[in-house]
Amino acid sequence: MPVKSNAQSPVGSTGGPGILPERPAIVVLTGAGISKESGLATFRDADGTWNRVRIEDVATPEAFETDPLMVQSFYNARRAQLADVHPNAAHIALAELERRFPGEVLLVTQNVDDLHERAGSRALIHMHGELKKARCLNCGAVLSWPGDLTPDSPCDRCRRLGQLRPHIVWFGEVPLEMDRIQTALEHCRLFVSIGTSGTVYPAAGFVWTAGQAGARTVEINLEPGNGASLFDEAFYGPATRVVPEFLARLDLTAI
């Protein structure tokens, strides 16, 4: 699958360059498992999204070129679902960590939902994009887009019709903010991975980068992920229980 660059697209993060720390002591990576108990499906569990729809039909640039209406409908439904779900105890515990820790924390999420920001996290990167944004293929604008997107929606900036796509990183596209994430991983002292199967790269390789740089690496998941052997420590169980417990026990003065 050829890799396409998202270079045209500006910052994919919530916090913005002023808020995002360059060399945080703690980097947290989250995946779909953290939002599962809020009511959002994961991808690869038995009841996951990829057992319901084919990746090739909805999550590649080729799918969008072939059938934009089908792809827009898939993302419209998932965007609409965000109105019915709420941040859970794991999202809230991570937002509290950011407030409580005297140093800097960077939260990198693979999730395209908005539950981390609704819980109060600010230093946040959405490396696979955001459901509530659209991107213009003509002018590159990244627009806030809370409602449905149609194949002929006009761009708010250049006014061209039919050029907007979901601001989502599909297979074969380069995730957002990779330089910033790489620098953070190379300088952090604690790396915590939560609710991800460790299947999709480059996120699946972050534990290796952080470990090579000397960070303590911790996996929190329902069950061991694909990269389980790469972590120094692991805590298994539902995120709403294990994440608050782990963070409550963490000695913040020792990081």
Out of 91, 116, 126, 128, pick the active-site residue: 128
Residue 155 tokens, joined: 């761009």
Residue nearest to ligand BJW (CB): 33
Per CB under 6 A, contacts with ligand BJW among 112-141 are 112, 128
Which residue, 223 or 233, has its beta carbon nearer to ligand BJW? 223
The three-state (H, E, C) secondary structure of the chain, written as one string: CCCECCCCCCCCECCCCCCCCCCCCEEEEECCHHHHCCCCCCCCCCCCHHHCCCHHHHCCHHHHHHCHHHHHHHHHHHHHHHHHCCCCHHHHHHHHHHHHCCCCEEEEECCCCCHHHHHCCCCEEECCEEEEEEEECCCCCEEECCCCCCCCCECCCCCCECCEEEEECCCCECCCCHHHHHHHHHHCCEEEEECCCCCCCCHHHHHHHHHHCCCEEEEEECCCCCCHHHCCEEEECCHHHHHHHHHHHCCHHHC
As measured in angstroms, the least distance from the Cβ of 32 to ligand BJW is 4
The verdict on 175 binding ligand BJW (CB under 6 A) reads yes
Minimum CB separation from ligand BJW for residue 222, in Å? 4
Q: Rank residues 25 and 170 by Cβ distance to ligand BJW and give the closer one.
A: 170
77: contact with ligand BJW by CB under 6 A: no
Stretch 188-227: interaction string toward ligand BJW, x if CB under 6 A = -------xxx-xxxx------------------xxx-x--
Is 64 an interacting residue with respect to ligand BJW (CB under 6 A)? no
Cα dihedral: 12, 18, 23, 24 (round 10): -80
Residue 196 marked as a ligand binder: yes
**Minimum CB distance to ligand BJW smaller for 112 or for 164:** 112
Site size toward ligand BJW, by CB under 6 A: 38
The region of 39-47, 79-87, 183-191, 208-216 touching ligand BJW under the rule CB under 6 A is 39-47
- Could you give the residue numbers annotated as active site? 128
Binding site for ligand BJW (CB under 6 A): 1, 3, 31-33, 36-37, 42-45, 48, 59, 110, 112, 128, 168-175, 178, 195-197, 199-202, 221-223, 225, 238-239
